Structure 1
């Protein structure tokens, strides 16, 4: 890997910031919001930020950069696909539970659902995320899709994954702000109460984590090398680097074989000529 120490210099802070974001979310709901529960009250709602930051932010962030870890480059591509899909599946499961908690809390308290921008963007992100996970599973993990289809969908898959991660970060920030406006009345949010300052710091950590993950995921020098036996075709009929290498080696091998065959034929002709000349001398 190029700039290995630079990679570590970003990876370690990213993991620390992401883990710290999860811890601070727990501190927020346990210290400022009275804890966790599953009884239709605000304690059940508190599962929503905890599970969102844990699954949708932290675990999804790890799933995005798991291909970039140089220690996994010796692992097979299929194994890495399973790890990537597994992490995203865990994140999707946590997100599902968090949504159940929110709707259960709203229904128990007769609170309208889906009226805020946070809920609109959030639900849109969740739906697109599940579609991304489904198509990724069908196209890239299962061996049914033809190579040219994978080549066409791969750039879309990568772009949509990064876009969804950015949407998750934005949705989290909207959710934190919305919650603070609802619960901070005395003292008000504008008077810089401790909970407001604490939650704002949490939001900054989430932004920092997202920025580090996106930077790591978009550096071409930290991209996982192509496997030498790759047979994936590029769109418009092109060949991948792996295919070109295979074709080149086959061409060289064929040239070697043709040269050796030509040398063998020449040697055989010389032997035949020698036998004919010796036969003529003996006859004379």
Structure 2
């Protein structure tokens, strides 16, 4: 099996896992928590898990794989750098909107902000993501960026990209568990420990997110799927 075919055999399941993550988190918020609104109620909070999974996990995970796609290797790298940056910006905007949803919900009900480990990890993830995007813009897209800066930034950029994905996974898993504790132990009267249908479904969502991230890391770890550097691209960019 050629490397290109092997890539798509791996990447197509990755796409399917990402789609399942989106479907599961949307169904969870809609079926068990009443749907969506933007009125300061619990229906506004429901946007938070959907937007964070969509931005920080699914879209982000696909954005980091842009340069691994074999059909892009014979095309101009600058074009795909813009695609990569654009997808990352969209993922960042969805994440920020997800934060706005939960902070506005807290403000409406006078609930304290930033009281849990989940919120601390989540806000650190988004801040690190924003810093990474700005740094990448300055280092790899601005023509005036000094070459030594680009060269030194590239390994840091790669490390931060992986670290953000790990933090995103941590944030989502802890957020699912926190949400279940509140909704099942504090509202419905049905304890989380009895593993009702909602708990089984949300735990399955968590497993899907873990599987998606593991497949993304598997693709990133395959050296033969790295974009070959041409003579014109020998300088880090």
TM-score bucket (shorter structure): over 0.9
Alpha carbons of structure 1 residues 201 and 231: separation in structure 2 relative to 1, 3 Å: closer
* CA distance in structure 1 between the aligned counterparts of 2:173 and 2:145, rounded to whole angstroms: 38
Residue in structure 2 matched with residue 261 of structure 1 by the alignment: none
Residue 191 in structure 1 maps to residue 194 in structure 2: yes
* CA distance in structure 2 between the aligned counterparts of 1:180 and 1:149, rounded to whole angstroms: 45
Structure 1 counterpart SS, 2:235:
coil
* CA distance in structure 2 between the aligned counterparts of 1:114 and 1:161, rounded to whole angstroms: 24
Residue in structure 1 matched with residue 113 of structure 2 by the alignment: 113
Residue 33 in structure 1 maps to residue 33 in structure 2: yes
* CA distance in structure 1 between the aligned counterparts of 2:149 and 2:235, rounded to whole angstroms: 10
Q: Return 5+ residue gaps in structure 2 as ranges.
A: none
Residue in structure 2 matched with residue 272 of structure 1 by the alignment: none
Residue in structure 1 matched with residue 51 of structure 2 by the alignment: 51
What value does the CA root-mean-square deviation take over the aligned residues? 1.4
Residue 91 in structure 1 maps to residue 91 in structure 2: yes
Residue in structure 2 matched with residue 202 of structure 1 by the alignment: 205
Residue in structure 1 matched with residue 138 of structure 2 by the alignment: 138
Structure 2 counterpart SS, 1:184:
helix
TM-score, length basis structure 1: 0.80
1:146, CA displacement in angstroms? 1.6
Q: After TM superposition, which residue ranges in structure 1, 4 or more long, deviate above 6 angstroms?
A: none
Residue in structure 2 matched with residue 277 of structure 1 by the alignment: none
- 1:227-281 CA-to-partner distances (Å, cap 9, x unmatched) read 22235179xxxxxxxxxxxxxxxxxxxxxxxxxxxxxxxxxxxxxxxxxxxxxxx
The number of residue pairs the alignment matches comes to: 234
The within-5 A match list for 1:9-28 is 9-28=9-28
1:55, CA displacement in angstroms? 1.1
Q: Return 5+ residue gaps in structure 1 as ranges.
A: 235-284
Question: Contact (CA 8 Å) 2:154, 2:236: kept in 1 or not?
Answer: no
Residue in structure 2 matched with residue 72 of structure 1 by the alignment: 72
The within-5 A match list for 1:254-273 is none
Greater relative contact order (Cα 8 A, min sep 6): structure 1 or 2? 2
Residue in structure 1 matched with residue 226 of structure 2 by the alignment: 223
- 1:37-67 CA-to-partner distances (Å, cap 9, x unmatched) read 0010100000001111111111101110010
TM-score, length basis structure 2: 0.96
* CA distance in structure 2 between the aligned counterparts of 1:162 and 1:27, rounded to whole angstroms: 28
Structure 2 counterpart SS, 1:7:
helix
* CA distance in structure 2 between the aligned counterparts of 1:95 and 1:3, rounded to whole angstroms: 34
Structure 1 counterpart SS, 2:135:
helix
Question: Contact (CA 8 Å) 2:169, 2:210: kept in 1 or not?
Answer: yes
